[in-house]
């Protein structure tokens, strides 16, 4: 009797089979948070293409590229490069909701730093950016430089 993996390997091209195998191991390679916002889409010429749901995460992943490639190689995958692209087609149930309640102390910090900016338009943009930051990270994370995503 043939194993399912043997049937899949013979039915699909090596590239498709390897992409499916990476997808199966993806959470172990990058962790829960990143896996919930990304999806391996294909391998071509030893380049793995990863769809990312968020442009900020896409930029962070760019700096983690070598580490991801190394982890993939340790798992036995023949990948020499990883390319990230924005993909809004990641299933909604897969994308992790990354929102938290902003504390009063964090709002005070935002207000204190916003007051320094004299230009009203710039001040409002800065304030919104800081509130967006604190909807994702805590003040303690910011102070302790504990902002790694995994």
Residue 101 clears pLDDT 80, i.e. is over it: yes
- Per-residue pLDDT, averaged over 49-65, amounts to 89
Residue 149 clears pLDDT 50, i.e. is over it: no
- Which residue intervals of the chain are DSSP H helices? 4-11, 14-30, 32-36, 55-63, 65-74, 104-115, 120-134, 139-143
Instruction: Give me the residue label for tokens 């204190």.
Output: 112
Residues 6+ apart with CB under 8 A from 14: none
The pTM for the full model equals 0.54
Model pLDDT for residues 104-118, shown as the tens digit of each residue: 998 998 888 888 888
Beta bridge partners of 44: 47
CATH of domain 4-86: 3.30.300
Ranges of CATH 3.30.300 domains, the chain = 4-86
Q: What local confidence, expressed as pLDDT, does residue 150 receive?
A: 36
Residue 95 clears pLDDT 50, i.e. is over it: no
- Whether the Cβ atoms of residue 50 and residue 40 lie closer than 8 Å to each other: yes
- Per-residue pLDDT, averaged over 73-93, amounts to 81
């Amino acid at each position: 009797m043939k194993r399912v993996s043997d049937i899949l390997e013979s039915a699909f091209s090596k590239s498709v089979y390897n992409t499916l195998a990476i997808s199966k191991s993806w959470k172990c390679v990058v962790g829960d948070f990143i896996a919930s916002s990304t999806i391996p889409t294909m391998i071509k010429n030893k380049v793995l293409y990863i769809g990312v749901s968020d442009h900020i995460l896409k930029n962070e992943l760019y700096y983690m590229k070598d580490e991801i490639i190394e982890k993939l190689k340790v798992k036995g995958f023949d990948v020499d490069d990883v390319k990230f692209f924005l993909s809004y087609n990641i299933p909604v149930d897969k994308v992790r909701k990354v929102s938290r309640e902003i504390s009063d102390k964090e709002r005070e910090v935002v207000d204190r730093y916003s007051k320094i900016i004299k230009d009203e338009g710039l001040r409002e943009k800065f304030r919104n950016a800081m509130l967006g930051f604190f909807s994702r990270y805590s003040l303690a994370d910011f102070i302790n430089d504990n902002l790694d995503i995994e």
